[in-house]
Amino acid sequence: MNGNKRFSILFPCFENVAYRQLSEITCHDLGLDALFHELSNDKREQNIIMNVISNMTSDKRVAYYRQKVFADILRLPELRKRLSELFDRIEYIRKFNSGTMDTGEKLGFWLLMHRLDELSDYIKCVEEMRACLSEADISSEGLVSFRNYLDALYDEARFSEMKKDIAELKNKAGNIQSVTLGINVNSRFEAVSMGLVSVNSKPFKKSNVISNFADAIAEKDKIQDSSDWDGDMHYHQVAAEHQRNFAKFIENTGGMIATTRTPFVDGRIRSTLVKNIEGEDSAGSTFYLDRTLSKMLSSLIKKLRDVLSEYSDIAIVDISNVIPEFMYYIRFAEFIERYTEKGFKFCEAGLSENEGVSMVAKEFYNLKLAVSLKSEDELVYNDLVFDREHSIYILTGANRGGKTTVTQAVGIMFVLAQGGIFVPAGSFEYKPVDGIYTHFPADEEKTLDLGRLGEECVRFRSIYSECTGESLILLNETFATTSFEEGFYIARDSVRALLKKGARVIYNTHMHKLAAEMDEFNKESESCKVASLIVKNENGKRSFKVEVAMPEGLSYARDIAEKYGVTYEMLTS
């Protein structure tokens, strides 16, 4: 279809939509690579899912478009099943497609017929897909548009006419039931040439009068006076039990007669004939007949080539390009179905219309952590809001209390929601972000040149340069690799700078003093505010629950000591 643009159920053709690719570091920090292993064992599908979901845009239209497509796919399991089966068939056709071959003079009868079969199978797949989408109760703009796209493809490509042409050609070609070959020999019975005598509409039938070709030659009364064929449709097959005695002089494999090893035909004479592959393989005979039939059936071959040339722009790629996008939705739907049955909560994200509120998440949890748990009962649910009074969270709490888990969970929710996927929460309303930036502790080998603090400063500077007021920034123990005073000084200036950006931020840190500076920070900004978020400590035990509150004392030293294993108990145990 020359006039049709490439269709997508993931990247709709809205005007003025800009996408940003999440960095590999951010994808790793959020645990997306590990999470997507749970969706599919196919590395290719994992890469497709990662490439799609890591392309983010703050355009609400895209997020809404995707989530409605996903809602249809999740709600209609029978549709998923039927589409998956059709996609497998189309992928098979595409994979073994001979359509890339020349449809001109070089393409013979056999390959032309195979190309016709491919087109016929492709048409059937498109027709079944149209029926599938017409019968299903779809409501999303994406799937309805795709159904309309298929209708347009069907009409513009003149599939109905193509079906008639294919049926007519296959009917004509189907009349060929057998061919008659002739072999010329010299006085020493050396084969000197071979050719096709006739193409017949009836198959040969085995005769019981003569059991093999050797007997036929031995009986002189069976030798004809002329080379004219008498129309006898019986044929004399060389019996397997006589092949050894006759030294396998001639074999009949699918109509191709070729010389092999015989006592009285030497290598020079054998080389004048087309040698067939021993056994049941008729490939050699097929290609010999292909060349010969192409010459004898010139009018039929011309018609085949004309039809294929006329429909040469019907590329299977029109549909196969959309298959990975469908598989993206289908794999997520299968995943959510499995975990919903285990008791895990998922909800369809809502787009916030409140100018001052950019996220309200209730009963959310970390999906990466959830897939490693044995039961939903082990999960801890939390609530969190991003608004003007809570734009930047300074998250503090006991070591191993769940700060990183909460930080990561928020990033995963945004990634899934903007990918159109239901999020791991009881409810979730948000404004899409244009990108997610993470600053988690780097691997040791990445800090050798600059040192840990230098590497952290360079990375933060890069994040700050790229992010906007519509970004989500997740900081995990940033600037904690130096002395407390030095780290606090850098962290304080970083928070002040982030306030000017207006981005949504979670700063997970052991620096309780940084959260205690909240009032000082807020004096510098009217539109965005810093808030203190803590992991609650209930009766001396970690609850893994967060709440907006001032830090529980200035016990950062004890937490840092525990983190690095330098408490008295840890050192002496």
Among 155, 106, 207, CA closest to 4: 155
Please report, rounded to a whole number, the percentage of residues in the chain having pLDDT higher than 70: 66
CB 130 within 8 Å of CB 147:
yes
Provide the pLDDT for residue 69.
98
Alpha carbons 147 and 144: distance in angstroms, whole number:
5
CA distances from 482 to 308, 451, 490 (A): 71, 10, 10
Residue 7 lies in a domain: no
- Take residue 208 and report the two structure tokens written for it: 């019981």
Residue 361 pairs with which residues in a beta bridge? Answer: 384, 428
Residue 302 lies in a domain: no
Are residues 225 and 157 part of one domain? no
Among 160, 172, 117, 123, CA closest to 302: 172
Provide the pLDDT for residue 451.
73
Which range is least confidently modeled, 69-83, 181-195, 245-259, 329-343?
Answer: 245-259
Are residues 209 and 357 part of one domain? no
Confidence band of 573 (pLDDT split at 50, 70, 90): confident
Provide the pLDDT for residue 397.
85
Unique residue bearing structure tokens 């039927």: 82
Helix (H/G/I), strand (E/B), else coil: 5: coil
Confidence band of 249 (pLDDT split at 50, 70, 90): very low
Provide the pLDDT for residue 270.
37
Provide the pLDDT for residue 263.
38
Alpha carbons 34 and 431: distance in angstroms, whole number:
26
Alpha carbons 15 and 3: distance in angstroms, whole number:
20
Q: What is the mean pLDDT of the chain?
A: 78
pLDDT over 70 (residue 425) = yes
Which range is least confidently modeled, 328-342, 357-371, 476-490, 513-527?
Answer: 476-490
Are residues 383 and 283 part of one domain? no
Amino acid found at 135? E
CB 28 within 8 Å of CB 412:
no
pLDDT over 90 (residue 441) = no
Are residues 194 and 118 part of one domain? no
Residue 20: how many other CB atoms lie within 10 Å: 17
Are residues 69 and 30 part of one domain? yes
pLDDT over 80 (residue 504) = yes
Are residues 204 and 124 part of one domain? no
CB 512 within 8 Å of CB 555:
yes
Give how far the C-alpha of residue 120 lies from the chain's centroid of Cα atoms, to the nearest Å: 25
Among 204, 207, 210, 212, CA closest to 179: 204
Are residues 262 and 146 part of one domain? no
CA distances from 320 to 68, 125, 144, 311 (A): 22, 11, 18, 18
Provide the pLDDT for residue 226.
57
CB 284 within 8 Å of CB 256:
yes
Average pLDDT over residues 335-350: 95
Residue 2 lies in a domain: no
Structural domain of residue 72, as residue ranges? 20-174+307-324
CB 494 within 8 Å of CB 465:
no
Alpha carbons 217 and 185: distance in angstroms, whole number:
12
Provide the pLDDT for residue 121.
78
pLDDT over 80 (residue 142) = yes
Amino acid found at 195? G
Query: How many domains are there within the chain?
Result: 3
Unique residue bearing structure tokens 């008639």: 164
Residue 539 lies in a domain: yes
- Take residue 278 and report the two structure tokens written for it: 């021993």
Which range is least confidently modeled, 165-169, 425-429, 542-546?
Answer: 165-169
Provide the pLDDT for residue 210.
42
pLDDT in tens, 3-53: 445 789 999 999 999 999 999 999 999 999 999 999 999 999 999 999 999
Are residues 360 and 483 part of one domain? yes
CB 464 within 8 Å of CB 439:
no
Alpha carbons 437 and 469: distance in angstroms, whole number:
12
Backbone φ, ψ for residue 42 (5° rounding): -85, 115
Provide the pLDDT for residue 188.
73
Residue 121 lies in a domain: yes
Residue 10 lies in a domain: no
Residue 114 lies in a domain: yes
Residue 86: how many other CB atoms lie within 10 Å: 19
Are residues 381 and 489 part of one domain? yes
Alpha carbons 58 and 274: distance in angstroms, whole number:
67
Alpha carbons 546 and 537: distance in angstroms, whole number:
9
**DSSP string computed for 529-547:** -EEEEEEEEETTEEEEEEE
Specify which of 313-322, 363-372, 482-491 reaches the highest per-range mean pLDDT: 363-372
Alpha carbons 472 and 477: distance in angstroms, whole number:
16
pLDDT over 80 (residue 208) = no
Provide the pLDDT for residue 131.
92
Alpha carbons 284 and 269: distance in angstroms, whole number:
18
pLDDT over 60 (residue 448) = no
Alpha carbons 384 and 361: distance in angstroms, whole number:
5
Are residues 364 and 316 part of one domain? no
Alpha carbons 84 and 15: distance in angstroms, whole number:
31
- Take residue 520 and report the two structure tokens written for it: 């000082």
Relative to beta strand 55-56, strand 541-548 is unpaired
Are residues 272 and 141 part of one domain? no
Please report, rounded to a whole number, the percentage of residues in the chain having pLDDT higher than 90: 45
Average pLDDT over residues 90-119: 61
Alpha carbons 174 and 201: distance in angstroms, whole number:
9
Residues contacting 349, CB < 8 A, separation 6+: 63, 67, 416, 417, 422, 423, 428, 429, 430
Specify which of 58-72, 90-104, 113-127, 205-219 reaches the highest per-range mean pLDDT: 58-72
Alpha carbons 35 and 331: distance in angstroms, whole number:
12
Alpha carbons 427 and 413: distance in angstroms, whole number:
11
Confidence band of 193 (pLDDT split at 50, 70, 90): confident
DSSP3 helix / strand / coil % (the chain, rounded to 5): 45, 15, 35
Alpha carbons 320 and 117: distance in angstroms, whole number:
18
Could you say which of 296, 316, 335 is where a domain stops? 296
pLDDT over 50 (residue 140) = yes
pLDDT over 80 (residue 150) = yes
CATH number for position 374: 3.40.50.300
Are residues 39 and 187 part of one domain? no
Strands (E) across 388-459 are located at: 392-396, 427-430, 436-439
Provide the pLDDT for residue 127.
85
Provide the pLDDT for residue 139.
96
Residue 497 lies in a domain: yes
